[in-house]
Amino acid sequence: MAGSEQVRIGVLGCADIARRRVLPAFAADPGSRVVAVASRDGTRAREVADQYGCAAVTGYERLLADPEVEAVYVPLPVALHAQWIERALLAGKHVLGEKPLTGDVDSTHRLFELAAARGLVLAENFMFPHHRLHRRIRDLLADGAIGALRSFTGEFAIPAPPPGDIRYDADLGGGALLDIAVNPLLAARSFLGPALTVCGARLRRHPEHGVDTGGAVLLATPDGVTAQVVFGMEHAYRSGYELWGSAGRIRVERAYAPPADHRPVIRLERPDGTEELVLHPDDQYLGAVRAFSHAVRHSPRAEHGLRERHQERALAVARLVAEVRAADEAASSAAQHPVPSWEIREGPYELRCHRQTPLRARREIP
């Protein structure tokens, strides 16, 4: 096919992220055309498909069997990603999978191996890296605007979803870690590098549903540059990060999911004063789908390059998620089996053992 022809997109599911963000982006992308929307509920598929003048399909398998569909977007719950991405690749379709691509490293690696073997594009739909805001910040760091980078702090949290939301369903991969924390974790890695690892983590779990609803993570590079990530889905809204260097700080808000008309502000604090850099709006959703359609249509080299970049990033995110879970389990186990601590009192001297608290030295002065 000629490189100018639009990529014919099929959508597996009518998730909120698809309806609000990604389907409008596909419609605005000159290189894409949505030709079918599938749902298990035919009526819902029709409601969404009518907005884009495309076919409504009842059932995901029927969409994958449609020769008119070249590539599919998968916005299903995380626990269903691996199954349907694999089926799409086996059906010969390029795939844009919503983030995170899967919930584990092995499944992620297997899917990229399958895509490579079949010469297909497989991309993970992290959208915020496509915003010019983050490229501008990397330029500032490269120019030494805040000296040597010493730490990253990222926050991303949303108010509690309504009852019945799939993020409360553990069987569907619910929870704040996979839905929300992956964004600041990826941001931390993008600035601190691939050697970033998890040093400690604690997760808060919903008393009824059992899914994680928030938490905090401490990460570090081998040379001691640190990152702190706080996230959740039972909070007042916050979406920002700060980079702290030897000669200043950079702070941004609305970092991960800004609307297309948002004008980002970079707050640059240095010893000689504070400066606010106001950027032009940028549509990261359109940027993400454009990169995908370009790789599908234009050349094997573009396809290979995008797949390689997304594989490296997806595997890194899956590894960090696994490390967060392991660190939380270790911290929970330590809290349930505390080591004895000792209390020293003076005048008269007294030594007492406490088994209810973690190890620490404490001195009380009467």
Q: Which residues are catalytic?
A: 99
The DSSP-derived string for 48-74 is HHHHHT-EEEESHHHHHT-TT--EEEE
For 200, 335, 364, the CA distances from 341, given in Å and listed in that order, are: 22, 13, 14
Pick from 103, 62, 60: which is nearest to 82 by CA?
103
CA distance 323 to 328: 9
Pick from 162, 217, 215, 165: which is nearest to 188 by CA?
217
Adjacency order of strands within the sheet including 149-157: 197-205, 212-220, 226-232, 149-157, 238-245, 248-253, 265-270, 273-278
Contacts of 353-359 with C-beta under 8 Å, sequence gap 24+, read 358/334
Rg, C-alpha atoms of the chain: 23
